[in-house]
Amino acid sequence: MRILFLGDIVGRSGRDALTQRLPALRAGLDLDLVVVNGENASHGFGLAPDMARAFLAAGADAITLGNHAWDRREIIPFLEEEKRVIRPANFPPGTPGAGAVVVEVRGGRRALVMNVMGRLFMDPLDDPFRAVQAELQRHALGRTIQAAILDVHAEASSEKQAFGHSFDGMLSLVIGTHTHVPTADHQILPGGTAYQTDAGMCGDYDSVIGMQKGGAALRFWKKMPGEKLAPAEGEATLCGLYVETDDATGLATRVAPLRQGGRLSQLMP
Amino acid sequence: MRILFLGDIVGRSGRDALTQRLPALRAGLDLDLVVVNGENASHGFGLAPDMARAFLAAGADAITLGNHAWDRREIIPFLEEEKRVIRPANFPPGTPGAGAVVVEVRGGRRALVMNVMGRLFMDPLDDPFRAVQAELQRHALGRTIQAAILDVHAEASSEKQAFGHSFDGMLSLVIGTHTHVPTADHQILPGGTAYQTDAGMCGDYDSVIGMQKGGAALRFWKKMPGEKLAPAEGEATLCGLYVETDDATGLATRVAPLRQGGRLSQLMP
Amino acid sequence: MRILFLGDIVGRSGRDALTQRLPALRAGLDLDLVVVNGENASHGFGLAPDMARAFLAAGADAITLGNHAWDRREIIPFLEEEKRVIRPANFPPGTPGAGAVVVEVRGGRRALVMNVMGRLFMDPLDDPFRAVQAELQRHALGRTIQAAILDVHAEASSEKQAFGHSFDGMLSLVIGTHTHVPTADHQILPGGTAYQTDAGMCGDYDSVIGMQKGGAALRFWKKMPGEKLAPAEGEATLCGLYVETDDATGLATRVAPLRQGGRLSQLMP
Amino acid sequence: MRILFLGDIVGRSGRDALTQRLPALRAGLDLDLVVVNGENASHGFGLAPDMARAFLAAGADAITLGNHAWDRREIIPFLEEEKRVIRPANFPPGTPGAGAVVVEVRGGRRALVMNVMGRLFMDPLDDPFRAVQAELQRHALGRTIQAAILDVHAEASSEKQAFGHSFDGMLSLVIGTHTHVPTADHQILPGGTAYQTDAGMCGDYDSVIGMQKGGAALRFWKKMPGEKLAPAEGEATLCGLYVETDDATGLATRVAPLRQGGRLSQLMP
Ligand SMILES: [Fe+2]
Ligand SMILES: [Fe+2]
Ligand SMILES: [Fe+2]
Ligand SMILES: [Fe+2]
Ligand SMILES: [Fe+2]
Ligand SMILES: [Fe+2]
Ligand SMILES: [Fe+2]
Ligand SMILES: [Fe+2]
């Protein structure tokens, strides 16, 4: 399977880059599965239903979220009707929406997409490791599903790497989001799972994690209320990871970063 | 000036890679200035004086530290005799050692090297932004010093980016350390300062931030005392950033990541 | 039922105060049930099996723990043989020991004692609220058990109060530990549950949370390795809460703080 | 000097209790100096100028703040005209307002009032210990000022106790705020400084730190956006500490808690 994962879409700049460029990427790379993290699509905070629809229409097969999942409250009822948008699986029982979805791709193949939130330096939540373990018990990689993707929305590199190693050989891809910076540690772990600590955001990199740099930098110098932060408006770099997997095993055979547009060094799989 | 910055050296694997490969790198890239972060050299925790001596002998011009600065206490008196080893500048007044050093390089040129620790998700410390500002008032980039390098030892990508933008045009390079994962957002900011959110560690990347993966991953699953962590022993990837600067301005003219050896994708400037 | 809960026993000073004074307190107040928190008994860090035995021999019916549960590792196998020592119930599945115990008291009555750890400003753990809810489903207050005591080992007053209100009417007593300072907000909540945000430690109050004040205060001024902390050695104040409950309902009918010995203002129920 | 310090005034319930009862308290206890913390006066978030005026009119000599200092932005310019309202002294240089004020009391005597914020589990700020030390160098307790009061707005009991011991003998009173729960560890430290870890809030104690208990407790169970929090509206307990000092030394000679009205056990000095 040819898979593309793209990190946190930030604001209009990120949304425009995604909807304008994803169709060509999908065709050019002959992709089977596209997953994007949408938690910052709406002015940096949350995801509105119409944005989710636009991402799916442009070629995304599933959309993950994170700590900003509910910043746009309209998404909450929307999750009931659109199962391809998922929120972290380790939100407590009774939370609307789901933390995993199986999507069907070309040739009748099936891919499991999961989302969890880390806990180190983040909110108190249920154990994300056991959440993944529980979900995996419902599937058989290489048999009932041909691929399994996990978006670990987390701050600490140590926790993300602990996911990679804990599930090495059980997932096609473990990829981090949330820091809004792409890491260069993409690799196939010894057990066959593709891994990258953070996909990076899809947004303007002349910014502070996607937000306008002047005000956002001042927050570290001052102890004042300040202006409301707004997304930076320069051209976005689409950031993510391309992975090829073997349908028979669900494991990775190739991994290559993608960085397209905007300020970052350009890289195509 | 041709500058190489290498991230946190972790354990024996990282030390060996550095001392064995730095002489050839220094010659091959015709480097003027080499700075390495040494806070994890000693079994993952701190830097012993003999290790500092070995790094300097192998071609480092200065060594920075971080939250593990004092894990090997012998380093504390050593900082008084060896000024090229610096600790975060925003440790409180009266702390042994210094947070900045001016080193002389080929042709009588002078380079300022600084180290600060971030505060978001880290220890309470003095303001690292004002610490850099105060140090810069003692120098004139392009006149009394030809280059100025800042190692921002910090957890949060937002805080590191705030440093990049706050000092854009005033420093040659702002580079992050501490997450032990190289980021792929190297760039020259609009004002001329080279920037990368994290240099990445020099250590074995089949690990949890350089430590053996089995025990380190289990810590996220269990709430038990566990074994003492030990560094992973596979071949290290040297990770860092190469920067070329204009002596007349002290600003960056070229920036290129370096990843050499071990598991990560290889890249030479 | 006449119940006494005593907060974190700290070091030798706390241990001596407990073992020397508890027999007289038990007799004088005609107590049915005594619960003490023992997480700091061993030089401030953990609880050794012989200390647990001494506390039980002196009149404790159950001992709770907290974030320092495993600092003395010998306690881990000991929990299997001595069920009256419990650790936080929201440690992950598979953790040795239990988070609740039913102890039998005079007249064949039974009391449930539970221990959980909060998560705000503390370690990532399972949901402590659901842990209590699950345990309560195994019992019927006023029928299968005559009293139910919960030690909420937590940092934040908000989280402890959330426990009080969430379980008001379902427990006899919700009492906090961990800050090592007694609070003066003891009350019977509207639903009948006795509540106090923190029991306070049993230790020397001329200290920093029980540890010698010089070194412990300096840690906030300096960023240096410092000496190992040791418990303060002045006379301990036993701190806790006395509660009377109605066996027919398991709810509280009277609540009164106890502070005996040492520097704090003295108060007997 | 006869001094009363009252903790965080929360919402209308707290404001009403203060303005209605302070005149009688001031007369009845023959007070020389009254200091109140006002950071939660406005619906739980911040202090509006008219509220500050009302508190001063009712008998407060100075008002301190905390992490909610700027929640009502109108207070920012107001601090320039009304010096008796102070914000934490360890906000960065250039912040509007001041962190200390000298107020004149009966008989031409002068009292220094200071406010700092702790850093453990709170925002990154300048060193609050050095901030107090610097302020004290401008005064001579027992000579240029007859009393010196410090409100330590902080989460951790350890940090507050470190303040008490670090400045024991140099201040009349070190009192904590922010947890919204009164502690029962009031004492005169060996050097003569009165101390209490937290004054407690002036608000409704059938609540979660002053806010309506239903919604506030649910936040610990759910991971959902939830309703906006509102202050609880039951009768407030005024909570604070009464201290008598010797004008010749500025040190404490008597310390006694005050709890008046509402649900908590009643106590008058
Ligand atoms: Fe994000
Ligand atoms: Fe996020
Ligand atoms: Fe490091
Ligand atoms: Fe570090
Ligand atoms: Fe404790
Ligand atoms: Fe504790
Ligand atoms: Fe407050
Ligand atoms: Fe506060």
What's the DSSP call for residue B224? S
Judged by a CB distance cut-off of 8 A, whether residue A228 touches chain D is no
pLDDT digits (tens, 9 = 90+) for B90-103: 999 999 999 999 99
Judged by a CB distance cut-off of 8 A, whether residue D162 touches chain C is yes
d(CA A125, CA A147): 26
Q: What ligand has the least distance to the C-alpha of A68?
A: 2
Q: How far is the CA of D178 from the centre of ligand 7 (A)?
A: 4
d(CA A5, CA A113): 11
Q: What ligand has the least distance to the C-alpha of C7?
A: 5
Residue A228 confidence (pLDDT) above 90: no
Q: How far is the CA of B179 from the centre of ligand 4 (A)?
A: 7
pLDDT digits (tens, 9 = 90+) for B20-55: 999 999 999 999 999 999 999 999 999 999 999 999
- Sequential DSSP letters for C139-178: --BTTTBSEEEEEEE-S-HHHHHHHHHHTTTT-SEEEEES
Q: Judge: B95–C224 Cβ closer than 8 Å, yes or no.
A: yes
CA D199 to chain centre: 7
Test mutation, D174, D181, D258, chain C, max C CBs within 10 A = D181
Test mutation, D74, D127, D224, D227, chain A, max A CBs within 10 A = D224
d(CA D13, CA B11): 59
C226–chain B nearest CA distance, Å: 10
> Average of pLDDT values for D178-199?
98
pLDDT of D228 reads 86
pLDDT of C133 reads 98
Asked whether the beta carbons of C73 and C97 are under 8 A apart, the reply is: no
pLDDT digits (tens, 9 = 90+) for D17-72: 999 999 999 999 999 999 999 999 999 999 999 999 999 999 999 999 999 999 99
The crossing angle, in degrees rounded to 10, of helices B11-28 and B49-57 is 20
pLDDT of B129 reads 98
Asked whether the beta carbons of A175 and A217 are under 8 A apart, the reply is: no
Q: Judge: D224–A70 Cβ closer than 8 Å, yes or no.
A: yes
Q: Judge: D92–B126 Cβ closer than 8 Å, yes or no.
A: no
What's phi and psi for A57, nearest 5 deg? -65, -35
Q: Which amino acid is at B4?
A: L
**Element of type H or E holding C187:** strand C187-188
Taking CA atoms, what residue in D is nearest to A66? D223
d(CA B36, CA B85): 10
d(CA B164, CA B142): 19
d(CA C53, CA B211): 38
d(CA C64, CA C46): 11
C116–chain A nearest CA distance, Å: 14
- The interface residues of chain C toward chain B in range 122-151, judged by CB-CB distance below 8 A, are 123, 125
A102–chain B nearest CA distance, Å: 26
d(CA A170, CA C131): 29
Test mutation, D127, D129, D152, D158, chain B, max B CBs within 10 A = D127
Chain A residues touching residue C119 (CB < 8 angstroms): 124
d(CA D123, CA A224): 12
pLDDT of C228 reads 86
pTM of the model: 0.97
Comparing CB atoms, the residue among D92, D120, D127 nearest residue B92 is: D127
Chain B residues touching residue A165 (CB < 8 angstroms): 208, 213-214, 217
Q: Which of A129, B44, A257 is nearest to C126 (CA)?
A: A129
Of B68, B178, B180, B186, the active-site residue reads B68
Could you give the percent of chain A with pLDDT greater than 70?
A: 100
CA dihedral A53→A56→A61→A63, nearest 10 degrees, is: -50
Judged by a CB distance cut-off of 8 A, whether residue B218 touches chain C is no
Q: In what order do the strands lie in the sheet with B2-6?
A: B62-64, B33-37, B2-6, B238-245, B252-260
Judged by a CB distance cut-off of 8 A, whether residue B189 touches chain A is yes
Q: What ligand has the least distance to the C-alpha of B38?
A: 3
Of D43, D68, D139, D165, the active-site residue reads D68
D68 is catalytic: yes
Q: How far is the CA of A1 from the centre of ligand 2 (A)?
A: 28
Comparing CB atoms, the residue among C184, C219, C263 nearest residue D257 is: C184
The SS3 call for residue A241 is strand
Judged by a CB distance cut-off of 8 A, whether residue C95 touches chain B is yes
Chain B residues touching residue C96 (CB < 8 angstroms): 224
Q: How far is the CA of D37 from the centre of ligand 8 (A)?
A: 9
Residue D201 confidence (pLDDT) above 90: yes
Q: What ligand has the least distance to the C-alpha of D47?
A: 7
* Greatest extent of chain A over all pairs of C-alpha atoms, in Å: 57
pLDDT of B228 reads 86
B174–chain C nearest CA distance, Å: 24
Asked whether the beta carbons of C54 and C25 are under 8 A apart, the reply is: no
Chain B residues touching residue C73 (CB < 8 angstroms): 225
Which residue numbers in chain C have pLDDT < 70? Answer: none
D161–chain B nearest CA distance, Å: 17
Asked whether the beta carbons of B83 and B56 are under 8 A apart, the reply is: no
Rg, chain B, Cα only: 17
Q: What ligand has the least distance to the C-alpha of B203?
A: 3
Residues with CB under 5 A from ligand 1 (ion): A 8, 39-40
d(CA C140, CA C144): 5
**Element of type H or E holding A175:** strand A173-177
Residue A36 confidence (pLDDT) above 90: yes
Chain D residues touching residue C127 (CB < 8 angstroms): 221
HEC-encoded secondary structure of C233-249:
CCCCEEEEEEEEECCCC
Q: How far is the CA of B237 from the centre of ligand 3 (A)?
A: 15
Q: In what order do the strands lie in the sheet with C173-177?
A: C100-105, C109-117, C147-153, C173-177, C194-196, C187-188
pLDDT category, D226, cuts 50, 70, 90? confident
Q: Judge: B124–D126 Cβ closer than 8 Å, yes or no.
A: no
ipTM here: 0.97
Residue A227 confidence (pLDDT) above 80: no
pLDDT of C165 reads 98
Q: Name chain B's partners: 3 or more CB pairs within 8 A.
A: A, C, D
Q: Which domains are present in chain B?
A: 2-260 (3.60.21.10)
Chain C residues touching residue A134 (CB < 8 angstroms): none
Q: How far is the CA of C72 from the centre of ligand 5 (A)?
A: 14
Residue A152 confidence (pLDDT) above 90: yes
- The interface residues of chain D toward chain C in range 230-249, judged by CB-CB distance below 8 A, are 239
> Average of pLDDT values for A150-173?
98
Q: How far is the CA of C153 from the centre of ligand 6 (A)?
A: 6
pLDDT of B225 reads 87
Comparing CB atoms, the residue among B92, B96, B222 nearest residue C92 is: B222
Q: How far is the CA of A153 from the centre of ligand 2 (A)?
A: 6
Q: How far is the CA of B45 from the centre of ligand 4 (A)?
A: 9
Q: Name chain C's partners: 3 or more CB pairs within 8 A.
A: A, B, D
The SS3 call for residue A136 is helix
Residue A225 confidence (pLDDT) above 90: no
Q: Count of CB contacts below 8 A, A vs C?
A: 18
